[in-house]
Amino acid sequence: MARGLILSSSTTLTANSLFTSFSKTPLKSFKFSPFSHLLHHHHHYLPKSSSIPLSCCCFSASSSSSQQCSIDMSKYKQAFSNRMDMAGIKPHHRIALGVSGGPDSMALCVLTAGWKTTGVNSVGTDSSGFIDGLLAIIVDHGLRAESKEEANVVCKRVSEMGIRCEITSCDWPSGKPKQGQLQEAAREKRYQVFHDVCAKHQIGVLFIAHHADDQAELFILRLSRNSGVLGLAGTPFTSQIFPMQTRSYCEVPENQGILLVRPLLDFSKEDMYKICQGGTEEWVEDPTNQSPLFTRNRIRMALNPLSSSFKSELQRVISACRKTRAYVDQVCHNLIHHSVVINDHGYAVIDLQILCDLKIEDICLMKFLSVVLQFVSQRQKQIRGSALKLLMDYLRTFPCKKSITAAGCYLCPEPGSRGSRVLVCCSVDFASSLKMEFFETHSFRQQEYCVADELGKIVEDEKSYPNHFVQDASNVHFLDVNPESVLDEAKRLNIISESTYSSILVLQKQETDRFRSKVGAISDLASKQKVEISTTFGKLLQPGQCCYFMDRFILTWKLNDKMDRDVVSDLVDYDIDFSEDAQNFYCSSCVVHHDNVLEVRYMIESDWLYLAELSKYPLSGNFTEYEVMSANGNTQMIEKTVPYLNYASVSATKALVLLKSIPVAARRSLPVLINQQGKLISIPSVKFRHCPCLMVHVEFKPKIPLEGGHSSFI
């Protein structure tokens, strides 16, 4: 988040003099003028020795022209176009840009606008003069008093480039984040805003201005956290982000998430400045980026003075890690395709026999397990650490004979497989998995533009790109090394020199020591605080309202005025009155009315027993009421009301048949509707309804798809 112009005292004087001389010059020629009110405001943030060139912040018309002529923009434009081809993205696609106003995001604006409007597939402008299908999203975090004004300045500057802008201000209901958590909290809020704005405008692709220097900082950061080769590979070229909260049905398309693209990963920070200068665009610098309180800032300051050969060798290590990750991702994809079956009831089955027959590297098997369990548990982050080691030991045992609970999942031998296959289902004992969201329905199916179709085509084009392949294992490094041995292996392979190796170790030690002391302080604080776990057992669901149950099932219900044709067809074999009068009233003993609500919970064992009891009663007219055990364990009298009682018995019988095909462990995560007295009303996944006038819809639509989203490139 780049907010606030940073200038030294001498720079301030020069800029003020220029502004005095050219105050009547049009804005497009002299872009420093909008920042005149900021020139004195932030100069105190600048260190005594500024690493930011004067020309990066403001420059005259003559200096602008000379710098532009000296910068070869063609190589940047061609590299950017090549990356778009790799990602399968075309100029006509709708694209959002994450823009802060700093040199990185301004360079991204320059290249994206040029790529969209030039060439054989270029697009034009709309009636307002903005480039078709391009939106800049500016996030005002609201963490500094001047942030709103600065966001407006950046918006004006980007708009003059022909890019439509939208400013979104963040709110902090629980208060602004503390200093030590500021950057992480701001990042999470920023990506939440990105997703919300993209969903609102039906945009499926978001560009972010991460570059090679960011990757170097992340490498040192993760090295200090003892990350393995997959983490040291840094941020991928393409990935997906998913909404933390769902506000409407239209936010849950077939291909979920927003495609996140980082087109500038091959460019350095110096390239960012040159692109801005070559495009005659200015930028602002965030004063918080100079603060040594933040880890990334400290690492950046430590890396800046190091030699170009050091930085080049560091990028070689990162590149080798990325190649390794690409290979692991491909192996993982093949393993999932051949050995995993996903059931629409939300559980997975892993064929251990297939895994045992293959010689799979541990790193590939760990990624495979992490991906499958992330999908089943619908966690935002992949599984790591001790839980992953436990799962590895479990999967290596053949045949499987026991059950375990780990990472929000329950694993056990699949019934009838004799341990050759493993059932993986969501554990209802895992508190954070018992998540329910309630939102209103919107008819996204009526929208003219379908984000899912466009994303599907992008993924298809990306996979057909000629360079989309993975090397043979013999050409991939770091497959068999421990996390702490990656640098040693890189030195042995002459990827890095002895001096670079030593310098990286020094940086790693500095940040590792700081991290350990910080973790200790946080642990002490956490031990003093009471952790509250909120359960979602029995949430109320209004008629017509949608519920996202455990991030996997979308559920909604309503009452009809009469039985539908499907109900009548279920009862044609029985001697039941189907007259108009018989179909136009409700079963008063078991169904709520229009102005009532139902509760949502997961299935429990007594639900099965209740269905078994209900299915036993004869469909005849010789009784007026009967006794049945309810789902909450109490005996209750059920009034006979034809044809509704008969329908409940038939529905229970059919539901039991379907339930028998679902493993017992997997049934526990199925959504169930009960009335406010605790009586079972419906199990939508097996089509049980106690009343034929009750219409219930359930759809298996997990937020995070299998494999966690889009594949990454080297």
The 10 Å Cβ neighbour count of residue 62 is 8
DSSP, res 705: P
Residue (of 640, 630, 635) closest to 589 by Cα position: 640
Tell me the three state secondary structure of residue 534: coil
pLDDT given at position 408: 87
Q: How far apart are CA 388 and CA 329, in angstroms?
A: 17
Per-residue pLDDT, averaged over 124-131, amounts to 93
CA distance 596 to 338: 47
Please, what sign has the CA dihedral across residues 670, 676, 680, 683? negative
Please report, rounded to a whole number, the percentage of residues in the chain having pLDDT higher than 70.
73
**Phi and psi of 202, rounded to 5°?**
55, 50
DSSP assignment, residue 125?
B
Bigger pLDDT: 640 vs 150: 150
What average pLDDT does this structure show over 64-90? 83
670's torsion region: left (phi>0), alpha (psi -120 to 50) or beta?
Answer: beta
Cα 123 to Cα 535: distance, rounded to the nearest angstrom: 51
Asked which of 204-218, 585-599, 642-656 is least confident by mean pLDDT, the reply is 585-599
pLDDT above 60 for 591 = no
Contact between 683 and 651 under an 8 Å Cβ cutoff? The reply is no
Sheet with strand 539-541: strands edge to edge? 539-541, 598-602, 671-674, 680-683, 688-689
Among the ranges given (449-458, 471-480, 654-663), the one the predictor scored with the smallest mean pLDDT: 449-458
Asked if residues 260 and 206 have their Cβ atoms less than 8 Å apart, the reply is yes
Q: N- to C-terminal Cα distance for the chain?
A: 26
Q: In the predicted model, what is the mean pLDDT of the chain?
A: 78
Instruction: Choose among 664, 544, 665, 519: nearest CA to 597.
Output: 544
Q: How far apart are CA 239 and CA 460, in angstroms?
A: 15
- Distance in angstroms (rounded) separating the CA atoms of residues 604 and 667: 8
Whole-angstrom distance, CA of residue 593 vs CA of residue 91: 53
pLDDT at 140 over 60: yes
The conformational region for residue 564 under phi > 0 = left, psi -120 to 50 = alpha, else beta, is beta
* Calpha distance 576→691 (Å, rounded): 15
Cβ neighbours for 251, distance < 8 A, ≥ 6 positions apart:
199, 243
The answer to whether 375 touches 705, Cβ cutoff 8 Å, is yes
pLDDT confidence tier of residue 24, bands split at 50, 70 and 90:
very low
Residue showing tokens 């998430």? 257
Residues 617 and 619: their CA atoms lie apart, in Å, by 7
Closest residue by Cα to residue 11 from 35, 25, 320, 27? 35
Cα dihedral sign for 57, 61, 64, 68?
positive
CA distance 321 to 227: 12
Give 578's pLDDT tier (boundaries 50, 70, 90): low
Q: What are phi and psi of 164, to 5 degrees?
A: -65, 140
C-alpha 105/C-alpha 243 separation (Å) is 23
**Crossing angle of helices 498-528/212-224, nearest 10°?**
60
Mean pLDDT of 137-166: 93
Helix (H, G, I), strand (E, B) or coil at 290: helix
Instruction: Give residue-wise pLDDT tens across range 217-230.
Output: 999 999 999 899 99
CA within 13 Å, CB half, 249? 18
Q: Where are the beta strands (DSSP E) in 343-435?
A: 348-351, 404-406, 409-413, 421-426
Residue 326 Cα distances to 83, 315, 471, 474, 548, angstroms: 16, 16, 9, 14, 33
Digit-coded pLDDT (tens) for 351-406 = 999 998 888 999 999 999 999 999 998 887 778 778 888 999 998 889 999 999 98
Residue 315 tokens read as 């990028």
* pLDDT at site 611: 93
Peptide bond into 253 cis (omega under 30): no
Give the pLDDT band (50/70/90) at residue 414. Answer: very high
Q: Which pLDDT score is estimated for 385?
A: 79
Residue 360: name the closest of 247, 480, 265, 440 by CA.
480
Per-residue confidence (pLDDT) for residue 318, from 0 to 100: 97
Amino acid in the structure at residue 326: A
What pTM does this model have?
A: 0.80
The number of CA neighbours under 13 Å toward the Cβ of 184 is 7
* pLDDT single digits (tens) 245-296: 665 555 444 445 789 999 999 999 999 999 999 988 888 877 777 777 788 8
Query: What's the length of the chain?
Result: 714
Q: CA 423 to CA 417: how far, in whole Å?
A: 10
595: CB partners within 8 A, 6+ apart: none
Long-range pairs, 21-28, Cβ under 8 A, ≥24: 22/60, 25/61, 27/160, 28/160
Q: Say if residues 280 and 64 touch (Cβ distance below 8 Å).
A: yes
Q: What is the β-pairing status of strands 205-207 and 95-99?
A: parallel
Q: What angle do CA 155, 159, 165 make, to 5 degrees?
A: 60
Please provide the DSSP assignment of 9-48 as one string. Answer: HHHHHHHHHHHHHSTTS-TTT-TTGGGGGGTTTSGGGS-S
pLDDT tens-digit readout, 316-350: 999 999 999 999 999 999 999 999 999 999 999 99
Given strand 694-700, what is the order of strands in its sheet?
436-439, 546-549, 553-559, 694-700
pLDDT confidence band for 27 (50 / 70 / 90): very low
